[in-house]
Structure 1
Amino acid sequence: MGKKKKDEKKEKGKKKHHAPVGATDVSGAIIQAARSIRTVLSRNLLSSGLYAGQDGVMLALAEGEGMTAGALAARLGVKAPTMTRTIGRLEAQGFVERRPDNHDGRLTVVDLTKAGRETLGLITQACDLSERQALDGLSEKDVRTLLKLLRTIDGNLRGIEVQSGDKPVADEI
């Protein structure tokens, strides 16, 4: 057996010693992964005419009968002015429309247009492609563990308790 093969065999039997986790290693890794998936998602959304961030608005609107800008902002965790600008861009692109609320004429709701509804399939494809790329090489168990850990981290940071169903749940409403 050659020296190289003996060294490789020796290395396989050794326990790996990892460097201690630094103060910003976890947050840095999460931030970088978020930036990377956002970049990939933006690239995958180009064919639909959308940018990352706009997809979340459209997917939220697809779940119901219109929402106010404030409700969308709260749901997606962004500030109201950011949501107003995003809605304005989506409206200019023909994907959403604003209209008076059916129950309270003082409110304006945002809803998908026909073109917006037709774009939902492209959004789903772009998200699926981005997620498959991000999770390449991870087992189903790895993915479940990752989701549980990320939801716990998010819950810790937002001050909510994560229940056994792995979805953040507010302590009190």
Structure 2
Amino acid sequence: MDTDIRHPGVKSVGWSLVQAARLHRSRTGDKLSDLGLFAGQEQVLQALSHSGPMTMGDLAVILRVRPPTASKTISRLASLKLVERHTEPGDARVVRVKLTREGKKKASAINALWDEVENELLAGFDNKDRKRLRKLLRRAAKNLASITGADPSSFDGDDEVDEPTSVEEPLAATA
């Protein structure tokens, strides 16, 4: 009996990407549970930590979720006293969200956790490999974003200008 069973998609880039993403999400989820959080909540705290107070609509856009999904997550985080909601003076329909002091502490812990999991994920990768992988994943995301109607520019990074990674392997410039 052959015990070397492999998924038929094992040579597919998409399949490999999905497997890596699942394992990354699982590892991150395990570490988030140590902080009393669930997967997805960290993204809200990171977004607010990075951008400061924002409207629910802006938060939904950044997270690439529908406003009711963002609202539900904010309600849970508010019950944990990690975020506060305030209506906009003059227009009570606009709700702004900001981190509490405890939320800022959690966001800092999340950043450390995120770095730790990323280092585990990319163990054995040098800086050149990491940069190249980041660029390739952004390019792939942009390809799908342009097809699905998502904003491709939201996948632009701080290192968008491609440089050759070696003499033998020049990269084509990304647009």
TM-score by length of 2: 0.75
Name the structure 1 match of 2:120.
Answer: 133
1:73 and 1:30 map into 2 onto residues whose CA distance is 25
Q: Which amino acid aligns with 1:42?
A: G
Is 2:144 the counterpart of 1:150? no
1:50 and 1:63 map into 2 onto residues whose CA distance is 19
Is 2:109 the counterpart of 1:122? yes
Per the alignment, do residues 102 and 129 of structure 1 end up closer, same or farther by CA in structure 2, a change over 3 Å counting? farther
User: Which residue of 158, 161, 166 maps to 2:160?
Assistant: 166
Q: Provide structure 2 residue ranges, at least 5 long, that are not aligned to the other structure.
A: 1-7, 147-151, 162-174
Name the structure 1 match of 2:165.
Answer: none
8 Å Cα contact 1:45-1:122 kept in structure 2 = no
Per the alignment, do residues 127 and 103 of structure 1 end up closer, same or farther by CA in structure 2, a change over 3 Å counting? farther
Q: Which amino acid aligns with 1:53?
A: G
Q: Which amino acid aligns with 1:81?
A: P
Name the structure 2 match of 1:95.
Answer: 82
SS of the counterpart of 1:109?
A: strand
Structure 1 residue 45: Cα displacement: 1.6
Is 2:25 the counterpart of 1:31? no
8 Å Cα contact 1:55-1:123 kept in structure 2 = yes
Query: Which whole-Å deviations, capped at 9, do the CAs of 1:57-86 have from their partners, x for residues lacking one?
Result: 111111234112221111111222221111
1:47 and 1:72 map into 2 onto residues whose CA distance is 25
Per the alignment, do residues 104 and 166 of structure 1 end up closer, same or farther by CA in structure 2, a change over 3 Å counting? farther
8 Å Cα contact 1:67-1:109 kept in structure 2 = yes
Per the alignment, do residues 49 and 22 of structure 1 end up closer, same or farther by CA in structure 2, a change over 3 Å counting? closer
Identity %: 35
Q: Which amino acid aligns with 1:63?
A: H
Structure 1 residue 102: Cα displacement: 4.8
1:123 and 1:103 map into 2 onto residues whose CA distance is 35
Per the alignment, do residues 29 and 102 of structure 1 end up closer, same or farther by CA in structure 2, a change over 3 Å counting? farther
Name the structure 2 match of 1:7.
Answer: none
The alignment covers a number of residue pairs equal to: 148
